[in-house]
Amino acid sequence: MQLVFSYRVARRVLIYFKSELFRGDRRGLLKALALLQRRWERASNLKYITPWERIIKNHTNYYFIEIDFKVIALKDKIIVIKNSIVISILLIAIIFFIWSLIYKKNLKNQTVVTSIETVEKTVTNENIAPKKIIPQKVLPTDIDGYEIIGKLEIPKINLSTYILEETNENTLNKSVTKLCGPNINKAGNFCILGHNYNKTNMFGNLKKLEINDTITLTNMYGQKVEYIVYDIYKVYPNEVECLSQETYGERKITLITCTTGAIKRLIVKATEIYD
């Protein structure tokens, strides 16, 4: 018996035999169906379910068996649905993965932009903020290694000399010195000691000063304060009231030197001139 079969798109299978071989044998037909079943199972990997069948004789000498594979087609649809679900899940996973990459990239870019803006703001604020001005010293820093803290000028006697920080025999031989008191040009009684030598930087002509004469003190940064003489007198070496720091917040200076013979001390008191 020669078995010939073909597949149709409409989920039907036509099986036909040459009439001279078939001869209407029902058992032969069932054998042909069993053969078709095995081939179908191998081809589709589906368990075959015996469908409704009928025999049709056409105008030729062939017999046709029309088999409805609706049940198998239904299983095909289930597989298609399962495949569709799997594909959908894969597509969703791919979309989520792509979205996560884009989100991370945007987040990184946003972080970089934020960092740049922060740096720009910092730089802008630094540019806007007023810079702290560090004053520069304009006077010499020392005389022969002895520290200078300021400058004393008395126009009346043409005196212009530097004031040294320490008071001892060596410094007094170099220039006038700070005996006691606050920092130069600060509130308090700034006391300056000097020999009465006839030198351009000593107090040899201090006795020529009079009331209302002016004295100028300049600190290391060039800041000047002008004072006016308001008292001149002499004391013995053990009388130190002139060194008192009770100035009630005012800036005052006291100039001290020896008199002739060094018996007494010449005291010149001056107070700040207010505008």
What pLDDT is recorded for position 28?
57
Structure confidence by residue, pLDDT tens digits, 115-153: 666 656 665 555 555 566 778 889 999 999 999 999 999
Query: For position 96, what pLDDT does the model report?
Result: 82
The token pair that represents 64 in the structure block: 């046709």
Q: What is the pLDDT of residues 11-23, one digit of tens each?
A: 334 444 444 344 4
> Where would I find the beta strands (DSSP E) of 62-186?
62-68, 142-143, 146-154, 159-164, 176-180
Q: How far is CA 173 from the centre of its chain?
A: 57
The residues spanned by each domain of the chain are 3-68, 142-272
Residue 8: pLDDT band with limits 50, 70, 90: very low
Going 191 to 194 to 198 to 201, the CA torsion angle's sign is negative
pLDDT digits 0-9 by tens, 98-116: 888 887 777 766 665 566 6
CA dihedral 7, 25, 50, 56 (to 10 degrees): 50
Higher per-residue pLDDT: 29 or 94 = 94
What torsion, rounded to 10 degrees, do the Cα atoms 245, 250, 251, 256 define? -40
- Whether residue 49 has pLDDT greater than 60: no
Is the predicted pLDDT of residue 37 greater than 70, yes or no?
no
Q: What is the pLDDT of residue 127?
A: 54
Q: Write down the pLDDT at residue 86.
A: 79
The mean per-residue pLDDT over the stretch 57-69 comes to 43
Task: Please report the pLDDT score of residue 156 as a whole number.
Answer: 95
168 confidence band (pLDDT: 50, 70, 90): very high
Contact of 183 with 243, CB cutoff 8 Å: no
What is residue 133's predicted lDDT score, i.e. its pLDDT? 75
pLDDT at residue 215 is higher than 80: yes
Provide φ and ψ at 159, rounded to 5°: -100, 130
246-263 average pLDDT score: 93
Q: CA 207, 194, 269, 218: dihedral to nearest 10 degrees?
A: 120
Bridge partners of 213? Answer: none
Q: What pLDDT is recorded for position 136?
A: 87
Task: List pLDDT tens digits, range 188-200.
Answer: 999 999 999 999 9
For the chain, how many residues are written? 275
What's domain 142-272's architecture? Beta Barrel (2.40)
- Separation between Cα atoms, residue 79 and residue 87, nearest integer Å: 12
Ranges 1-10, 247-256, 263-272: which has the least confidence? 1-10
% of the chain beyond a pLDDT of 70: 60
pLDDT of residue 72: 41
